[in-house]
Chains A and B, each alone.
Chain A
Amino acid sequence: AQERQEQLQEREKFLKSRIQELRQRRDALREKVRQAVSELGNLGIASEPDPREVLEWKIQKCRELLRLFRLTGISGKLSPHGISLSLHTSFEGSLLDSFHLELQERGDSGRFWLCRHSVPPFIPLERLARELLPRNPRQFLGILCRHLNTFVGRREQLRKLQEEFPDSVQVLSQNSLCNFLSFRYRIPAESSGEFQEFRAQLRYRDPTGTRPDDVTAVTGDGVAVPEHSELLRRLPLHRALRQIHDTTAGTTTTG
């Protein structure tokens, strides 16, 4: 717990200095724009812009805004029945599944209820909607997004693990939410060319957690391997296993 506290503090410091950095860059850019505009004024360009060009520019700006919203993970649109929201999930820089919701307002009460959706049944959507949606739609969306993103992230990790190590990883047990996983993996021992068998079990207690809470890695005889379980706890599955491979095979770990 002490370690976690320190980690959080470090992260906070890092993020604060990043914010500072970005603010400085923003101010510098603003200055640039201001200079350019004043220069333009000086040059005396005052011709009437072509209305067609203006319209095209506006459309382009609109498209860019919509694309930007899509990248934030939530985009929405007013529909004939209410509000249509799309939640876009991503993992390690790739956009993955999109899920959709339709919300309707009860009269003018400002309270929303869930109409249609395309969220899978193992996400506790009804419970979240019941508890949060009428009073606090933003919180509802925020938490739902986390549930969806972490689910998709865990699923992707498992897929990548099986894709990168098709012969050395065998999944023993998993569940729909991918928050419980047990698998066998084998690593070629240093020089002998023989394989060492291991078994790992991961459990995510918090469905919105990105890292597993309980990790056990044992050899074929049941002896715990703390180095492996530490890697599996810290890194995404496929990268953890890549690192386990590299260290065991005696090559230097990269990145």
Chain B
Amino acid sequence: MACLHDHSCEDHDCSSDWSLYKHIDTSKVSALNEAIPGSVRSVFKAWEQRLNSSGELLESNEGDPELLIFIPFTSDVKIKSISIIGGADGTSPSKMRAFINRDGIDFSDAQSMQAIQEWDLVENLQGVLEYQTRYSKFQSVASITLHIPDNFGGDTTQIQYIGLKGEATQLKRDAVTNIVYELMPNPSDHKTRAETGGGFSHVE
């Protein structure tokens, strides 16, 4: 498979560039309007396997080409470019819109909101095209939402592979990950000043 990079593939292993898929929090990946729930997880794989569909791909519902894919990361990442492989017969996506660091977007939000960046796509069945991002805007990305409004005329939209190129930092965006619930207050947690031996009030 030929790379359209300006180097020969033997010197440089392309797959390591496209390794951001390792930083995706796969359990929290979700898609709206997918025909088979959970099929979205199959599109995030290694570069070498991008053409290896083995039957699993992300497909939208019949008669409705729109797709909304929510991709959270395990740490903040910087995204340099995105590669996307669609299906044949007009099922490839024709447009892509990205939203950064917003979760819970649904179709009405996506249609009304201004995207961080939009791309017009071409049919890219070999996966050799990549779409570059405005890197300054994609510096600390905890989650990215891709909205596919339309395809090339097919009944459904099919996506075989989504690749992300960039760097991963080790920073995390959300501080609170563990919440402990208390059914009843624990008196030892709420010692009054009298119990702790009294104290003098301070005026500072």
A and B interact physically: no
